[in-house]
């Protein structure tokens, strides 16, 4: 018996079970907490599982994250000591690039001002700088960041990326590690954040980082776009940086507390675009197929791909 356990919150477990059953009707799918005999569970698929849901699975072979980010799983004290595989999927990558390009363009083309003007019936023509005069910097040039970088470059922006280890990408200026951070920020007008949340990146988006962004850009002040994780950002620092002009505007898809509390000042902030952690909302069918194919490859001895490095946390 090689049953699959689904342990998720905030997602429709029954729909996920149907997807896996359709892909392989011979494999039993169980939904936590109805796990039956734990010894049957060979695979678990998890997204923000309830505390203890992954405990006591003595025959577990592989744990699949139902998202690209694994911070919620890595932080689980009961995380089983088996390979942890994360989602890497072309559909997800393309959707994230859409979100990034959309939001870079919204700020670049001054659409927050245009929306406010429309509501106030004001016919104003704000300065529209060329894309080639705007410097976009992407923190995190992995699966998602690289695709977004290439697409922004195609639109004419000056694009740079920052990563932990040195990377080389045609047409993209690259910076790495602590030493590379200051020069990367100093040439950045629009900061796009696609970092994983790890001990090294928690709280990295703070006042001192914002103060290092270019203040001489054609947009009149730096812009922050965070589609990585809420835990990367100090939200009080974002608000004060928006108030005193250290940041001109922001797009936030992720927050320290999700759903964003009703009384959060971000909801009504005139310089902020809020979205509900949907930047790369992907086709669940494609993600189920990806996990199913990984199981087949694993059982055929071909190994797993996109296994998380427990030491770095991503």
Q: Which residues bind ligand NDP (CB under 6 A)?
A: 68-69, 88, 140-145, 162-165, 167, 194-198, 200-201, 227-229, 253-254, 277, 279-280, 314
Question: From the CB of 68, what's the least distance to ligand OXD, in Å?
Answer: 4
Task: Choose between 29 and 279: whose C-beta lies nearer to ligand OXD.
Answer: 279
Q: Work out whether 68 is an interface residue with ligand OXD (CB under 6 A).
A: yes
Residue 27 annotated as catalytic: no
Per the residue annotation, which of 277, 289, 302, 310 is the catalytic one?
A: 277
Which DSSP state fits 314? -
Per the residue annotation, which of 229, 289, 292, 302 is the catalytic one?
A: 229
Task: Choose between 68 and 242: whose C-beta lies nearer to ligand NDP.
Answer: 68
Q: Mind giving me the DSSP string for 196-261? A: ---TTTTT-BSHHHHHTS-SSSTTSS-EEEE-S-GGGB-HHHHHHHHHHTSSSEEEES--SSSSPP
Task: Choose between 28 and 103: whose C-beta lies nearer to ligand NDP.
Answer: 103
Q: Work out whether 67 is an interface residue with ligand OXD (CB under 6 A).
A: yes
Question: From the CB of 252, what's the least distance to ligand OXD, in Å?
Answer: 14
Q: How far apart are CA 181 and CA 188, in angstroms?
A: 11
Tell me whether strands 135-139 and 41-47 are parallel, antiparallel or unpaired.
Answer: unpaired
Contacts of 252 (CB under 8 A, 6+ apart): 224, 226, 233, 238, 266, 272, 273, 274, 275
Residue 277 annotated as catalytic: yes
Task: Choose between 87 and 139: whose C-beta lies nearer to ligand OXD.
Answer: 87
What backbone phi and psi angles, to 5 degrees, belong to 29? -120, 125
Binding characters for ligand OXD, 88-127, by CB under 6 A (x = yes): ----------------------------------------
Q: Work out whether 280 is an interface residue with ligand OXD (CB under 6 A).
A: yes
Q: Work out whether 69 is an interface residue with ligand OXD (CB under 6 A).
A: yes
Contacts of 274 (CB under 8 A, 6+ apart): 252, 260, 266, 267
In 3D space, the residue among 62, 17, 15 whose CA is nearest the CA of residue 35 turns out to be 17
Nearest residue (beta carbon) to ligand NDP: 142
Q: Work out whether 161 is an interface residue with ligand OXD (CB under 6 A).
A: no
In 3D space, the residue among 117, 140, 155 whose CA is nearest the CA of residue 200 turns out to be 140
Task: Choose between 69 and 140: whose C-beta lies nearer to ligand OXD.
Answer: 69
Q: Interface with ligand OXD by CB under 6 A: which residues?
A: 67-69, 87, 280
């Amino acid at each position: 018996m090689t049953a699959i356990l689904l342990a998720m919150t905030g997602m429709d477990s029954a729909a996920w079970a149907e997807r896996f059953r359709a892909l392989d009707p011979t494999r039993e799918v169980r939904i936590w907490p109805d796990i039956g005999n734990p010894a049957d569970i060979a695979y678990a698929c998890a997204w923000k599982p309830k505390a203890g849901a992954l405990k006591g699975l003595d025959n577990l072979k592989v744990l699949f994250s139902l998202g690209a980010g694994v911070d919620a799983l890595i932080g689980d004290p009961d995380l089983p000591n088996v390979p942890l595989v994360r989602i890497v999927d072309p559909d997800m990558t393309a959707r994230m690039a859409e979100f990034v390009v959309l939001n870079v363009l919204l700020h670049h083309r001054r659409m927050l001002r245009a929306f406010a003007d429309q509501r106030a019936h004001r016919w104003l023509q704000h300065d529209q700088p060329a894309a080639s005069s705007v410097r976009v910097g992407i923190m995190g040039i992995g699966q998602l960041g690289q695709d977004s970088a290439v697409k922004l470059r195609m639109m004419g922006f000056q694009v740079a990326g920052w990563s932990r280890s040195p990377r080389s990408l045609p047409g993209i200026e690259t910076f790495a590690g602590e030493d590379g951070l200051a020069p990367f920020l100093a040439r950045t007008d629009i900061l796009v954040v696609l970092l994983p949340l790890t001990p090294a990146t928690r709280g990295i988006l703070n006042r001192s980082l914002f103060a290092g962004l270019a203040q001489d850009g054609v947009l009149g002040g730096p812009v922050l776009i965070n589609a990585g994780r809420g835990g990367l950002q100090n939200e009080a620092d974002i608000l004060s940086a928006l108030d005193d002009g250290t940041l001109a505007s922001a797009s936030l898809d992720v927050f320290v507390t999700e759903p964003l509390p009703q009384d959060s000042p971000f909801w009504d902030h005139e310089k902020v675009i809020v979205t509900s952690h949907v930047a790369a909302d992907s086709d669940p069918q494609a993600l189920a197929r990806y996990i199913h194919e990984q199981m087949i490859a694993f059982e055929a001895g071909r190994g797993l791909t996109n296994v998380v490095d427990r030491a770095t946390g991503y």
